[in-house]
Amino acid sequence: MKKFKKYIAVLCGSLTLGLGGCNDFLDIYDPAVVTPEYYNTKEGQEKLIVNLYARYRSVFTTYVLQYLGTDMYMSCDETPTAAQFNGYNADLSGLSGTIDSYWATLYKIVQESNILLNRCTPEIAGDDYDQMVAKGRILRSMAYYYLVETFGGVPLLTEENTSASDIITEVTRASEKDIYDFIVEELTLSLDKLPDVADAAGELSNTALKHFLGKIYLTRAYREYAEPEDVTTAIKLFEEVIASTHYGLLDRFEDVFDESNQNNKEIIWAIQYGSDKNYNGSGNPIHTQFGFNITALYPGMFALDQQEYSSMMRDIWTNPRVHEWFRHPAQDSRYDATFRFEFEVNDPTNENYGKMGIYMPHWDDTSGDDHDAIYFYPFRTESGDYNWYPALGMMGWSTDCMPMCRKFRETKIEWGGKGTREDVVIRMADTYLLCAEAYLLNNQPDEALKKVNDILRRAAGSEENYEVLKIASASELTLDRLLEERGCELFGEHDRWFDLKRTGTLLTRARLNPLVEHYNNLSEIHLVRPIPYNERIKLKGLDQNEGYNN
């Protein structure tokens, strides 16, 4: 037992387990009852899989790397983190703490997957062997996807490293091509090893695997090391997902994120939280994003009422121009289902109780009708500038109010409580849009148009609205238009930075972010993030990405 603890202490300083505290290596169960032999049991290996799922909570809540520095989302302050990741300023380096923890988490996933895949055998796992191995391969491949897209070429580690004699001190950065070849091979080996429909909420399925593998092929299809059949293979996989007899688009957009309708047929894979305090960790914080702190900014007007809104963290702000992507908001059901525009005074001690406290019209409403609101914030100022900006002195902005995201509401928790709802990673609408992107890349714009219009038909809710909302001809469906449709459909969901990088549009579309333009430092070096300094000083051969210091 002492020897095992020694191994863990050594590994917590190595690349494979990153820089996190030693306890979180075994944070799903009590390390006091674990011995090295525990991982040679089916129970121990099943707990490793649970731990791998849990680690992806951290991956998908690293919002700085998911949202900031894109065309859709911006920071709300002037902190070093905001300047580095939203402004791409010259201070972005290997010393930035966000990338340090992100790297560590992803390599913890790699290490725990390696343990699972090294030790899982048919004799131990029995009839579950193929499924357990497939899950290990998929979750490890997903970690390498985010590593290679974030950092470029990285060390490709596939063997278990839990012996003090095997501690890593020198590495070689595999090329991006080699990483993608590895991911494709691993995921291909996993096809048809899992059920088409997940056994339980939060579990991977063969359908989720096909979606992810299609995304890998599509991403590689844009690169100089693309294989000839990448884009057609991606299309084939996406079409197979769309043809699922279990998963599919719901009839109404607003039902997809209904708090009482989680794990519905449109959700192909989601990270689970729930209300069990022993399981949900820090909770899902997505309900606290994309809004303003209404109770603090308007004291005495608005009560601490979780039924109405959450205690917003004010971390991520919506770029006002995103609203214009909803070209016909009156006919697009997604607009009101995604954003809330009006707030009545709900503090019973206020003399204006029950009256309209804050009103923001749809972006295209220029009537000036303020609905007798105490505070009225139209989309544009009298001079024609955007009005829905955060208060940010260096930009001269002061409104500090915008339509609040209602898509991820949490009404069943206490005020300021931990979020309990699922964190959707893969859903069918995303598959449709990725499939459209693949058709567009393959010079099949008519097929791409069909997929996008399927999404718009659902958004319209009626044939009458659809006639207004639909894209009339394939010539209108440019890559930029498709990315804007992704923004409308998938607002607040994951991977916007990665979407822009995949499509080769990061360097142009990120400049739609006024803070990126303010710093005016965005360049090709920012297509990857800097390698964490704390890893480079420990590992010979882990050189820094070009253009970054430290």
Looking at the domain assignment, is residue 403 inside a domain? no
Mean pLDDT of 34-43: 86
State yes or no: pLDDT of 436 exceeds 60. yes
Is 383 among the domain residues? no
pLDDT tens for each residue of 83-133: 999 999 999 999 988 999 999 999 999 999 999 999 999 999 999 999 999
Which two tokens mark 78? 């002037």
Phi, psi (degrees; rounded to nearest 5) at 170: -140, 135
User: Where is average pLDDT lowest: 22-26, 166-170, 329-333, 352-356?
Assistant: 22-26
What whole-number distance in Å separates Cα of residue 526 and Cα of residue 516?
Answer: 12
pLDDT(11) > 90: no
**Exposure string for 345-366, b = 16+ CB within 10 A, e = fewer:** bbbeebeeeeebbbbbbbbeee
Coil/strand/helix, residue 235: helix
Report the distance separating Cα 146 and Cα 4, nearest Å.
Answer: 30
Q: Tell me, what's the pLDDT at 550?
A: 86
pLDDT band at 451 (very low <50, low <70, confident <90, very high): very high
| Residue 543 resides in a domain | yes
Strand order from edge to edge, sheet including 375-376:
342-344, 356-359, 375-376
Does the pLDDT of residue 535 top 70, yes or no? yes
Q: How wide is the angle at C-alpha 449 spanned by C-alphas 470 and 196, nearest 5°?
A: 110
Model-wide pTM > 0.75: yes
Residue 33 lies in a domain: yes
pLDDT of residue 2: 34
pLDDT above 60 for 6: no
Residue 472 belongs to some domain of the structure: no
DSSP code of 419? P
pLDDT tens sequence across 59-84: 999 999 999 999 999 999 889 999 99
Count of domains for the chain: 1
Structural domain range at position 123: 1-168+505-550
pLDDT at 7: 30
Per-residue pLDDT, 25: 28
User: In the prediction, which pLDDT does 81 show?
Assistant: 93
Instruction: For residue 540, give the DSSP letter.
Output: B
**CB–CB of 20/109 below 8 Å?**
no
> What is the tens place of the pLDDT at every residue in 175-234?
999 999 999 999 999 999 999 999 999 999 999 999 999 999 999 999 999 999 999 999
Scanning 359-478, the segments in alpha helix (DSSP H) are 428-441, 445-460, 463-469
Interval 474-514: pLDDT, tens: 999 999 999 999 999 999 999 999 999 999 999 999 999 99
Residue 316 inside a domain? The answer is no
Residue 19 in tokens: 């820089």
How distant is the alpha carbon of residue 41 from its chain centre?
A: 33
Token pair belonging to 2? 């002492």
Average confidence (pLDDT) over 287-301 = 96
38 vs 118: CA distance, rounded Å: 14
- Distance in angstroms between the alpha carbons of the first and the last residue of the chain: 38
What is the C-alpha to C-alpha distance for residues 139 and 112, in angstroms, rounded to an integer?
10
The mean pLDDT value for 12-27 works out to 32
> What does the mean pLDDT of the chain come to?
92
SS3 annotation, 401-415: CCCEECCCCCCCCCC
User: What are the backbone angles phi and psi of residue 470, rounded to the nearest 5°?
Assistant: -65, 155
In a domain, residue 384? The reply is: no
DSSP code per residue over 245-265: SS----S-HHHHT-TTSTT-T
Residue 289's pLDDT band, with cuts at 50, 70 and 90, is very high
Q: Which helix (H) or strand (E) holds 110?
A: helix 97-119
Measured torsion, CA atoms of residues 302, 61, 451, 258, in degrees rounded to the nearest 10: -40
In-domain check, residue 70: yes
Q: What CATH number is associated with residue 25?
A: 1.25.40.390
From 458, 463, 508, select the one nearest 483 (Cα to Cα).
Answer: 508
Query: What integer pLDDT is reported at residue 21 of this predicted model?
Result: 31
Percent of the chain with pLDDT over 90: 88
Which band of pLDDT confidence, cut at 50, 70 and 90, is reported for residue 34?
low
| pLDDT value of position 269 | 98
For β-strands 339-340 and 342-344, DSSP reports them as unpaired
